[in-house]
Amino acid sequence: MTITSINPYTNEIIKEYNEMTFPEIESTIINTHQAFQDWRKTSFIERSNLMKGAAKILKKNAREYGELMTLEMGKVVKSGIAEAEKCSWVCDYYADNAEKFLKPEIIGTDAGKSYITYNPLGVVLAIMPWNFPFWQVFRFAAPALMAGNVGLLKHASNVPGCALAIENIFKEAGFPENVFRTLLIGSGLVGNVIENPLVKAVTLTGSTPAGRAVAKKSGEMLKKTVLELGGNDPYVILEDADLESAVQACFTSKLINSGQSCIAAKRFIVVESIKLQFEKLFMDLMRNVKMGDPMKNDTVLGPLARNDLRDELHEQVYKSIEKGAVCLIGGRIPELKGAFYPATVLTNVKKGMPAYEEELFGPVATIISAKNEEEAIEIANDSVFGLGAAVFTKDLTKGENIASNLLESGCCFVNTFVKSDPRLPFGGIKESGYGRELSYLGIKEFMNIKTVYIK
């Protein structure tokens, strides 16, 4: 069996890789487990120096890694460069803070001494997606390795070059052999890896169906999981919003990674008194989006990652129009080589349409009208997903209350678009998953939180 890397801009094969055999997989798992026995004993200073080395490599070679992302999944190159630089940031962040985050905590009890200590679990399997092929991996790997765990990466099958490049970054930085390894396997062998008793925990970023499958298998084996799944992020635009600023934030979020982001803006829920004005301003931006070669710095919209994903998106748009949605712009597959889909705006979207119910993973904006603030919040929460959300209003007290108390999601932003930050926890609720990555909370997900009691 082979794993094939295909350029979504040209549809040409970049490279074919041999899929690992079952004995090779078993050997790799054993080797990572053995590496863990020594790695867990290293000091935070040793780990920090190595992680800072990885950060420097990422920063130094940001363009090379950005171009690799562009080749394998179509990300515009300037975004790929920024992604590599963000990975450098998360490496530095945990190199600087892991020891503080995992410091034993003294707890006052009737014991002579009692405290909580954090011990690494061992081999952690990371099942990662193609849309942010470096960032998704490093936001797991930096805290996991700094905590004393070791990592196994099963990356998406369309970005094998990225997967191997990441493994090489850790090698080049001087990490001990087998502390971080890539498994070049398809999804059919993931269950076997989870079943291996040497694998202690699993983290997945991906679709909700993939999350269900991994959670089921991991649950059977009683293994800890963290799942970051899909989203249908609502952006609530209230009557008193600074409309030009709100539209710019919505536009920016919608086209991040050509719309292929779990936390990209998906549903624009606009109070009806300002809906037409919002649509006009939004359309002015969307109709001028430059689509083309993702290697050019002035390109805003590159191809989607695969042709089948583009076709699936178009089917969702078509079915929504059939059910009564109005397409203001886009909505047609362009006559271009590559997996392109144009900047598209759907309005008059209502419950029961794919554009209302489902995640549209691409440059398609959905506009939903609400009578008032209360109905806008109700619509925002009327989703099986709960990853990110945003609200736009000049009344910061009201905006903060809506974000902190009323919107049902793991990340709520006021007057700006949703984004991830190493300093803040990231994750969702409902069918967007569970557990948290990043911040001091993320590094503790794959630890044995142990009580020590001394009489």
| CA angle (212, 213, 214) in 5-degree steps | 95
Distance, in Å, from the CA atom of 179 to the CA atom of 166, rounded to the nearest integer, reads 12
**Counting beta carbons within 10 angstroms of the beta carbon of residue 23, is it exposed (0 to 12), middle (13 to 18) or buried (19 or more)?**
exposed
**Residue 228 annotated in active site:** yes
Is residue 46 annotated as part of the catalytic site, yes or no? no
- The Cα 237–Cα 235 span in angstroms is 6
Q: How far is CA 143 from CA 129, 138, 197, 208, 342, in A?
A: 18, 8, 22, 24, 37
Three-state SS letters, the chain: CEEEEECCCCCCEEEEEECCCHHHHHHHHHHHHHHHHHHCCCCHHHHHHHHHHHHHHHHHCHHHHHHHHHHHHCCCHHHHHHHHHHHHHHHHHHHHHHHHHCCCEECCCCCCEEEEEEEECCEEEEECCCCCCCHHHHHHHHHHHHCCCEEEEECCCCCHHHHHHHHHHHHHCCCCCCCEEECCCCHHHHHHHHHCCCEEEEEEECCHHHHHHHHHHHHHCCCEEEEECCCCCEEEECCCCCHHHHHHHHHHHHHHHHHCCCCCCCEEEEEHHHHHHHHHHHHHHHCCCCECCCCCCCCCECCCCCHHHHHHHHHHHHHHHHCCCEEEECCCCCCCCCCCCCCEEEECCCCCCHHHHCCCCCCEEEEEEECCHHHHHHHHHCCCEECEEEEECCCHHHHHHHHHHHCCCCEEEECCCCCCCCCCCECCEECCEECCECHHHHCCCCEEEEEEEEC
Catalytic residue, chosen from 67, 83, 167, 228, is 228
Q: Per the residue annotation, which of 87, 262, 411, 412 is the catalytic one?
A: 262
* Amino acid letter, residue 240: D
Catalytic residue numbers read: 228, 262
